[in-house]
């Protein structure tokens, strides 16, 4: 029998209220170890898992992908369109009865063990910054695959749940990811769960037209997530969503990866340096020494 509802679900027309939500979750143990009761990692997970379920419940065709941002690595741990988890993880029972939360928690544990083992095995730095540039790139690659898969794809967006401070050494990679997202018209939403603002994500949300918010009451995280970030791109046009209060546009120098207020810019490739030099280390252009004083840039 041809039911009208089923026909509209199976049809190939793109739907602007169907979302592909890529969630980048900060799992840096240095950050989470320092968090006290209003929002410990366990409580954070409770809020976030409820939010994940809400996204999947809001529309039957919504797709959720979770990427973990660790200290030295990042990994795609959950994809709601993938039905292979049960097989791989030996979870018993029919496929429909497997709750996403069970899989996510299990995959998360495995990932965090691997990420921390990287420090011991490869003598990688114990990093208090998370690999945001890596997970942003991973999310964008996934989105590109969906966008090129045909006309009937869901509307992609990225949500960064970030706690640890920005890693200035990732400045160039993060900015490249932001411009790539802007070009593909993918908004980057940011929810800051740490104590300090993230200039990287302020710029990311500002440039890509996403929402940047640092919830004032971390104990109500789920409500912030559900009220602000669960809204699909179509509905956002009709809602009063939080507006940015200010964006920190400061850049990091390419030579020492430090955040600077004033610097020198290569007139050829626009690389930023904290001090004058005779040659650009990025594009190898040689500079005339005389006009250095006038090259200072805000």
- In the complex, the residues that contact Zn ion under the rule CB under 5 A are 253, 255-256, 266, 268-269, 271, 274, 280, 282-283, 285
Quote the CA–CA distance of 214 and 229 in Å, as a whole number.
12
Secondary structure of residue 273 in the 3-state scheme: strand
Q: What is the closest distance, in whole angstroms, from the C-beta atom of residue 251 to Zn ion in the complex?
A: 11
**Smallest distance from the beta carbon of 284 to Zn ion, in angstroms?**
7
Residue 206 CB, nearest distance to Zn ion (Å)? Answer: 24
- Choose between 50 and 255: whose C-beta lies nearer to Zn ion: 255
Tokens of 63: 């797709």
**Least distance between Zn ion and beta carbon 261 (Å):** 13
C-alpha dist (Å) from residue 73 to 77, 119, 171? 12, 10, 17
Closer residue to Zn ion in complex, CB, 234/258: 258
Give residues with Cβ within 8 angstroms of 115, minimum separation 6: 27, 68, 70, 71, 72, 73, 75
Residue placing its CB nearer to Zn ion in the complex, 150 or 291 = 291
For the chain, how long is the longest CA-to-CA vector?
81
- 3-state SS class at 286: strand
CA 11, chain centre distance (Å): 31
We find the least distance from the C-beta atom of residue 268 to Zn ion, in angstroms, to be 5
- Residue number with CB closer to Zn ion (116 or 259): 259
Q: How far is the CB of 254 from Zn ion (least distance, A)?
A: 7
d(CA 195, CA 162): 10
Closer to Zn ion by Cβ: residue 225 or 280: 280
Collapsing DSSP to helix, strand or coil, 41 comes out as helix
Q: What is the CA radius of gyration of the chain?
A: 21
**C-beta of 98 vs 255, nearer to Zn ion:** 255
Q: How far apart are CA 26 and CA 28, in angstroms?
A: 6
């Amino acid at each position: 029998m041809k039911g009208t509802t089923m026909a509209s679900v199976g049809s190939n027309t793109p739907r602007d209220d169907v979302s592909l939500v890529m969630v980048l979750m900060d799992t840096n143990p240095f950050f989470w170890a320092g968090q006290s009761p209003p929002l410990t990692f366990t409580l954070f997970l409770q809020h976030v898992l409820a939010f994940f379920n809400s996204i999947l419940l809001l529309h039957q065709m919504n797709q959720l992908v979770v990427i973990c941002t660790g200290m030295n690595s990042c990994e795609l741990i959950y994809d709601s369109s993938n039905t292979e988890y049960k097989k791989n993880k030996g979870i018993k029972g029919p496929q429909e009865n497997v709750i996403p939360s069970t899989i996510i928690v299990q995959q998360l544990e495995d990932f965090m063990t691997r990420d921390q083992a990287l420090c011991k095995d490869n003598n990688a730095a114990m990093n208090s910054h998370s690999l945001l540039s890596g997970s942003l790139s991973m999310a964008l690659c996934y989105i590109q695959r969906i966008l090129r898969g045909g006309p009937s794809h869901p509307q992609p967006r990225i949500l960064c749940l970030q706690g640890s401070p920005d890693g200035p050494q990732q400045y160039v990679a993060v900015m490249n990811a932001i411009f790539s997202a802007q070009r593909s018209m993918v908004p980057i939403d940011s929810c800051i769960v740490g104590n300090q603002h993230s200039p990287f994500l302020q710029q990311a949300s500002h440039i890509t037209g996403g929402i940047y918010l640092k919830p004032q009451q971390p104990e109500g995280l789920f409500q912030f997530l559900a009220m602000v970030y669960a809204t699909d791109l179509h509905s956002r046009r009709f809602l009063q969503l939080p507006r940015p209060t200010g964006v920190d546009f400061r850049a990091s120098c390419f030579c020492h990866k430090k955040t600077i207020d004033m610097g020198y810019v290569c007139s050829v490739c626009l690389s930023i340096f904290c001090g004058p030099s005779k040659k650009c280390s990025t594009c190898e252009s040689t500079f005339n020494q005389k006009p250095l004083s006038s090259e200072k840039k805000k």
